[in-house]
Amino acid sequence: MDKQLKHTSKFLSLVLRHQPEEIGLQLDEHGWASVEELITKMNAKAVVVDMAMLETIVATNDKKRFVFNDDKTRIRASQGHSIEVELDLQPTEPPAILYHGTTGKYLASILQMGLQKQARQHVHLSATIDTAMAVGNRHGKPVVLTIDARAMHDNGFAFYLSENKVWLTEAVPVQYISQ
């Protein structure tokens, strides 16, 4: 992805997940923004974007972070929000094992309190060790924790799979976490 697209994509993450008010954008309760309004309001803040760029970002973004509705009049982030949105995800049976990528400095606290969603709407879990390593790497030297998702599921914890294949859950108590 070229530099311009990357910059625009990062800005999209900001306004569609965390701070729509940054450009005076209104998201509906499901996290959708009007494409027309988004383009106008991003351009007003000197962030270069048009429909063709949005289409490229939606199609080529490395993690498929954003989706259009059917007629491409609306756009939203598939996961990762800190603002409260209802993504309408159905509870889904997880694989037996999931992984969480983090870093050493959080470990003591995690092993004491379990995994908590912090600023986001969910705890994010990965299906593969590689993905968890990449997630942990964002915070420092990566540490990958193994989550007994089957036991959690059997004990009534709900799991959701975002449109871009990130596993989400409310919290992971300590007894389901191993190093």
Choices 31-39, 43-51, 89-97, 107-115 (CB under 6 A): range interacting with ligand HQG: 107-115
> For ligand HQG, which is the closer residue by CB, 116 or 155?
116
Task: Give the number of residues in contact with ligand HQG, rule: CB under 6 A.
Answer: 17
Of 26-55, which residues contact ligand HQG (CB under 6 A)? none
Choices 20-28, 34-42, 85-93, 101-109 (CB under 6 A): range interacting with ligand HQG: 101-109
Q: Where are the alpha helices (DSSP H) in the chain?
A: 3-13, 35-44, 51-60, 104-113, 129-137, 149-154
- Does residue 64 touch ligand HQG according to CB under 6 A? no
CA torsion angle 161 71 44 15 (round to 10): -10
Q: Which one among 116, 137, 155, 178 touches ligand HQG, defined by CB under 6 A? A: 116
CB of 117 to ligand HQG, least distance (A): 7
- Residue 3 is encoded by which pair of tokens? 């530099």
- Does residue 18 touch ligand HQG according to CB under 6 A? no
Characterize the bridge pairing of strands 167-169 and 142-148.
Answer: unpaired
CB of 44 to ligand HQG, least distance (A): 25
CB of 143 to ligand HQG, least distance (A): 9
Q: Which one among 63, 129, 146, 148 touches ligand HQG, defined by CB under 6 A? A: 63
Rg (C-alpha) for the chain, rounded Å, is 17
Residue 87: partners with Cβ closer than 8 Å, 6 or more residues away: 30, 31, 78, 79, 81, 160, 162
- Does residue 166 touch ligand HQG according to CB under 6 A? yes
**If DSSP codes are grouped into helix, strand and coil, which group holds residue 20?**
helix
